[in-house]
Amino acid sequence: MEVEFRLEPGRQEPKLVILAGAETDELRQLAQELSGLSLDPVPIWEGELSRRLPQDEFLRFYTDGKGVCAQTAAATYAVHLRLYELEELLDRRKFARISNSEIINLNRVTAVDLSLAGTIRMTLDGHVAVYVSRRYVKKIKETLNLGGRRGR
Amino acid sequence: MKGEIKQWLIRLGAGGALGALFVQATLYFFWGSFLIPAVQGRPVHPFGIPFWLVMPQMAADFGSADAAGLIQLLLSMLFGAVVAVSTLPFAEGGRALVLRSLAHFVGTGTSFALLLGLCRWVDWRMVPVCLFLLALLYLLIWLGRWIGWYSQVVQLRTLLGLSPGPSPLKWKETLPYLPFILLVCMALPLILRGIEQLFGADIPVFTGLLYPYLILPAVGFCSGLSLGKHQGLCWLYPPSCALCYLPTVYLLFNDSALFHCFMIAVPALAGVVMGWLYRRAVPKKAPKS
């Protein structure tokens, strides 16, 4: 399949056009999957300064009692968005809500463990431990199936 | 939160009603069978209702059949209600799950003991035995739930492209050790007994002293240590050792030798834990490239 880029200076959101001889089921599925992609960077705050970081950089977003925080491999930042607003903004194939107070980047999960007491623990990037509420397990599996990441 | 309270109330109500029905139906249909032997005489009917039965001793304890009937009804409703909410603690996880489960077990155990004892279904001396059986049932249910959760974790790992990890409770990893344990628990004592008989020993030093007090603990500990070192915590190994030894108890000895099962299971548990601690303390060396 040929891929062609046409740059339009000033365009805010990328637009994809599929050129084909006929509209097939595969193409319809591809279009549906592509339209679901969210590529918008996430605005974070460092004191008074605001920056936008690409979604892939984030390990997780969580509430800490004062507000919403975003953690990357390097640092933790404040985010002036609610978790449900972040859910709307983030790529649904990569990010999933794992509890009432946390959204994680599924691409950064390096281990999943279960304790004898039934607690599911995920490890992000080998060192950040997060705990999954069992109420969200079904939703996480749906997200993973959507992303088609078996045998990543 | 409101929905959760509503769910609890519905379950408590339905469980109470079913509990009362279940208890009455059990008494009615199983009176005089092996389940409820009619050793106490004929049942009495509170308020003259033919389907409503209580034990005659209970009626004597409470002064009248009517009072005994009402107390039995309340206790059976309480037991039914507690059992009906037994799946709700499992909706949580971690510490909350453990605390809720323990609280639920205390509730179930208390209502069960009161039902058995006050209603005179069993002698009070037998109540601890029944509670022990209830605890085993709880453990079994917990194990079933845990295996269900573990299969979810395996699914998550697979979907994430990670290794699926060990089998539930590492039963597959434990299997290779069982033939060895079977040999030690079943073949070795038979051989030792044969040797004793061959030499016409008066005192069974091998099977009566050396085997249960030295060989069994040493084998249990060393094999547990090896398993723990290679596979980590394998909780099924100690009870498996005890189970493997159980036939030998009845083949070579008698009930009085049942404690031999602990002589291998407890050292096996100690070995597994020590091996696991060693594994944690001394990480595997990376292969040289």
DSSP B114-167: HHHHHTTSS-GGGHHHHHHHHHHHHHHHHHHHHHHHHHHHHHHHHHTTS---SP
Quick one: B11 exposed, middle or buried, by C-beta within 10 A (0-12, 13-18, 19+)? Answer: middle
Give the pLDDT score at A151: 46
**Residue A14 one-letter amino acid:** P
- For chain A, give the mean pLDDT: 86
Alpha carbon distance B272, A7 (integer Å): 63
Chain A partners within 8 Å of B159 (Cβ)? 141, 144-145, 149-150
CB pairs below 8 Å between A and B: how many? 66
Give the pLDDT score at B112: 92
- φ and ψ of A29, to 5 deg: -65, -40
- Name the nearest CA neighbour of B45 among B69, B25, B26: B69
Give the pLDDT score at B24: 86
- φ and ψ of A121, to 5 deg: -115, 130
| Beta carbons of B160 and A109 less than 8 Å apart | yes
Chain B partners within 8 Å of A123 (Cβ)? none
**Residue B144 one-letter amino acid:** G
- Name the nearest CA neighbour of B182 among B190, B193, B171, B192: B190
| Beta carbons of B153 and A114 less than 8 Å apart | yes
B102 in reach of chain A (CB within 8 A): no
Give the pLDDT score at B75: 93
CA R_g for chain B: 26
Which residues pair with residue B125 across a beta bridge?
none
A100 in reach of chain B (CB within 8 A): no
pLDDT higher than 70, residue A36: no
Q: Which two tokens stand for residue B194?
A: 């044969």
A150: Cβ contacts below 8 Å, ≥ 6 apart: B158, B159, B161
Distance from CA of B89 to the nearest CA of A (A): 12
Q: Is the dihedral of CA B132, B121, B22, B13 positive or negative?
A: negative
Task: Give the pLDDT mean for A53-71.
Answer: 91
Domains identified in chain A and CATH numbers = 25-147 (2.40.50.1020)
Task: Give the pLDDT mean for A91-117.
Answer: 90
Alpha carbon distance A129, B251 (integer Å): 52
| Beta carbons of B159 and A110 less than 8 Å apart | no
Alpha carbon distance A122, A108 (integer Å): 10
Q: Are strands A58-63 and A120-124 parallel, antiparallel or unpaired?
A: unpaired
| Beta carbons of A149 and B98 less than 8 Å apart | no
Task: Give the pLDDT mean for A64-74.
Answer: 89
CB atoms within 10 A of CB B202: 7
- φ and ψ of B111, to 5 deg: -65, -35
Give the pLDDT score at B168: 85
Give the pLDDT score at B244: 93
Alpha carbon distance A18, B48 (integer Å): 83
Write out residues in chain B with pLDDT < 50, as ranges. Answer: 289
Alpha carbon distance A42, A77 (integer Å): 11
Strand order of the β-sheet with A68-72 is A49-53, A42-46, A76-79, A68-72, A58-63, A102-105, A95-99
**Residues making up chain B, counted from first to last:** 289
Element (H, E) at A109: strand A109-114
Q: Which two tokens stand for residue A113?
A: 């463990």
**Hey, where are the domains in chain B?**
2-157, 168-281
When CB atoms are compared, the residue of B94, B157, B162 closest to A118 is B94
Alpha carbon distance B87, B78 (integer Å): 16
Distance of CA B131 to the CA centre of its chain: 10
pLDDT category of residue A94 using cuts at 50, 70 and 90: confident
Mutate to test the interface with A, among B97, B139, B160 (most CBs of A within 10 A): B160
Q: Are strands A42-46 and A95-99 parallel, antiparallel or unpaired?
A: unpaired
| Beta carbons of A118 and B152 less than 8 Å apart | no
CB atoms within 10 A of CB B168: 18
Those of residues 58-87 in A touching chain B at CB distance below 8 A are: none
Alpha carbon distance B155, B78 (integer Å): 39
Give the pLDDT score at B216: 93
- Name the nearest CA neighbour of B88 among A134, A41, A72: A134
pLDDT higher than 60, residue A143: yes
Give the pLDDT score at B38: 62
Give the pLDDT score at A152: 47
